[in-house]
Amino acid sequence: MEENRYFRLKGRAEHSDALRPVRVCLISETPSGSERFAVSATAAEKAAGPVYTFEHGGARFCVAVGETVRIGREGDFVYELVLDPRAETEICLRTPYGEIGARVRVHDLQCVREGETLSLECVYVLDFSGDRQQHRLRFSARPQSARGKEMV
């Protein structure tokens, strides 16, 4: 992950496929409500940036942070949301009732990384054929100690 106007780095973790325990917090605010949770996760340092995997509410998530932010979800609802501050992207939401397509436009994306701690905030719009919904996403990841407690 290169430093640019969207991503600021202060110290960089070494590239490694080794998994390390982290604590992640995800807050999603949408027109229909909000969801927030904090769970244990694993992190791996890839060439493009960190990748976090975790489970919550019967779903499996993968968050990859690099030049873009990719959020994948598997479960009753399946999607891969690509947040790119430089280009409009598309998403296909697969639900038990069928597929729903939308365009994704990022209005603001800020990511700060200090060593192994990451903080991300994004405001984006999902455009369902003219029905636009603004979303706000906040995601953070911090190292965990061997006992599973968050490190201060």
* Radius of gyration (C-alpha) of the chain in whole angstroms: 15
Q: What is the pLDDT of residues 17-67, one digit of tens each?
A: 688 999 999 999 999 999 999 999 999 999 889 999 999 999 999 999 999
User: Which of 128, 59, 71, 61 has the alpha carbon at shortest distance from 99?
Assistant: 128
Backbone angles phi, psi at 74, to 5 degrees: -125, 140
CA 58 and chain centroid, separation: 17
Locate tokens 């959020």: which residue? Answer: 71
Average pLDDT rounded to a whole number, residues 139-148: 80
Vertex 20, ends 15 and 24: CA angle to 5°?
110
Q: Which residues, 6+ apart, have CB-to-CB distance to 126 below 8 Å?
A: 91, 102, 103, 104, 132, 133, 135
Instruction: Fill in the DSSP letter of residue 4.
Output: -
The SS3 of residue 117 is: strand
The helix or strand, by DSSP H or E, that contains position 44, with its residue range, turns out to be strand 33-46
Q: Over pLDDT 70: what percentage of the chain?
A: 84
Prediction pTM value:
0.84
Instruction: Fill in the DSSP letter of residue 2.
Output: -
Point out which residues pair with 12 in neighbouring strands: 115
